[in-house]
Structure 1
Amino acid sequence: MNISFTEKQERYIASQLESGDFQNASEVVRDALRLHELFRNRVLEELRHEINKGWDGPASKRMVKDIIRSKAAGK
């Protein structure tokens, strides 16, 4: 597998190695991927929960166009 990083990402990886928390760049990347997976799963779980609340909640008497208009007006 070949992975390219931006200069900013390379600097971050280097700083993590200098901190002594990681022994090599692979450890930094694996840790980042693990955290990404946890974060992504949490976000998806929260979105599913909110969607279910909407489906299970009371029906709105507002029309879609009224909701869109209120969002466009910043209300």
Structure 2
Amino acid sequence: MNISFTKKQKEYIAKQVATGEYQNNSEVIRDAIRLHRIYRDKVIEDLRREIEKGWNGPDSTRTMDDIISSKKNG
């Protein structure tokens, strides 16, 4: 597997290793992937919960245009 990083990302990874918390670059990347999975799973679960609340909630009399307008003005 070949992965390319930006200069800023390489610097960040190097700083993390330099703190001594990680032994090498691979540990930093593995930790980042693990945290990304946790974050993504939480976001997806939160979205599912909100969608379910919407489906199970009362019907609204507002139109889609009303909702969009309220977000632009709010």
TM-score, reference length from structure 1: 0.93
Structure 1 stretches of at least 4 aligned residues deviating more than 2 Å after TM superposition: none
Pairwise CA distance, 1:27: 0.6
Q: What does residue 56 of structure 2 align with? A: 56
TM-score, reference length from structure 2: 0.94
Aligned length: 74
Q: Percent of aligned pairs with the same residue?
A: 59
Q: What does residue 3 of structure 1 align with? A: 3
Q: What does residue 16 of structure 1 align with? A: 16
Aligned: 1:35 with 2:28: no
Pairwise CA distance, 1:30: 0.3
Long gaps (5+) in structure 1? none
Q: Secondary structure at the match of 2:17?
A: helix
Long gaps (5+) in structure 2? none
